[in-house]
Amino acid sequence: MKKITDIKGTFRLHNGIEMPYFGLGVYLSDNDKEVIDAVQWALEEGYRHIDTASIYKNEEGVGTAILNSSVPRDEIFVVSKVWNADQGYESTLKAFEKSLQRLQLNYLDLYLIHWPVEGKYIETWKALEKLYKDGVIKAIGVSNFLEHHLENLMETSEIKPMVNQMEFHPYLVQQDLIDFCNKHHIQYEAWSPMMQGKIFELSILDSLSEKYNKTAAQIVLRWNLQKGVITIPKSSKKHRIIDNANLFDFELSKEDINYIDSLDKHHRLGPDPDNFNF
């Protein structure tokens, strides 16, 4: 396992691209001052990975913050996703162009299929492969794909996904899926790592917080990284953005990682990738 060193550290994707293992998620951040401030604070703090999506309706704000930042574009890893209603070959190509325009960028570092829409994600993936070959995306991947979705995709694709972004937190570990992704060199990534804020309501991490003198959020985010999982905690509050990044002066023991793994309840807070209707 690669050593977790600092906020700008990376994991290498199977195509050789270095992806920062820590980033900012902007889900539910308003497409105005809120998201612009959040991205700017994150970049000032040293974050180099920003994750958005067309359905978040804040790509313009993310793009404005990147444009106005003193951090060079090539040092920022920008991620967006094609929404379900836009899936299909031609419609994905158009959706990508619109995302790029909204972000005011001429390429994306990573583009993901947001959900495995049945009957559409194979064609959507073909569009991502074309965009990747055209050089306008540096890496391509998926989100919310279970093992059978990945197997189905890999049977028909030229290029296997570089990333799979999944709901991941102490109550939903899905170790079998992590193992499958690792075996196929697909980088695992967490969304909702802090259980939509519910992590703060749980007493299960109190002993670890005390032991390491860290918040429950910092314990969980460090657990993500030490498991080799990229993590993108969402916040629009400056102090949280700063606190969330305070992960690089401690290391969880193997026993404590196993303890957090053992909290798994197979409990989803978000939709089931096998049963969603949007």
Dihedral of CA atoms 40, 46, 49, 53 in degrees, nearest 10, equals -20
**Neighbouring residues of 205: CB distance < 8 A, sequence distance ≥ 6:** 170, 199, 216, 219, 220, 260
Please report the beta strands in 76-224, taking only residues with DSSP state E, as ranges in sequence order.
77-82, 110-113, 140-143, 163-167, 187-191
Please report the beta strands in 15-131, taking only residues with DSSP state E, as ranges in sequence order.
18-20, 24-25, 49-51, 77-82, 110-113
Q: Which residues share a beta bridge with 234?
A: 25
Can you tell me the distance from the alpha carbon of 166 to that of 143, in angstroms, rounded to the nearest whole number? Answer: 6
Q: Which of 21, 56, 132, 171 is catalytic?
A: 56
**Inter-residue contact 126 to 89 (CB < 8 Å):** yes
Single out the residue of 248, 192, 188 nearest to residue 218, CA to CA. 248
The alpha carbon of residue 118 and the mean position of all alpha carbons in its chain are separated, in whole angstroms, by: 22
**What are 253's two structure tokens?**
């023991």
Annotation marks residue 121 as catalytic: no
**What are 247's two structure tokens?**
């992960």
46: left (phi over 0), alpha (psi -120 to 50) or beta: left
Q: How many CB atoms lie within 10 A of CB 149?
A: 20
**Inter-residue contact 182 to 163 (CB < 8 Å):** no
Catalytic residue list? 56
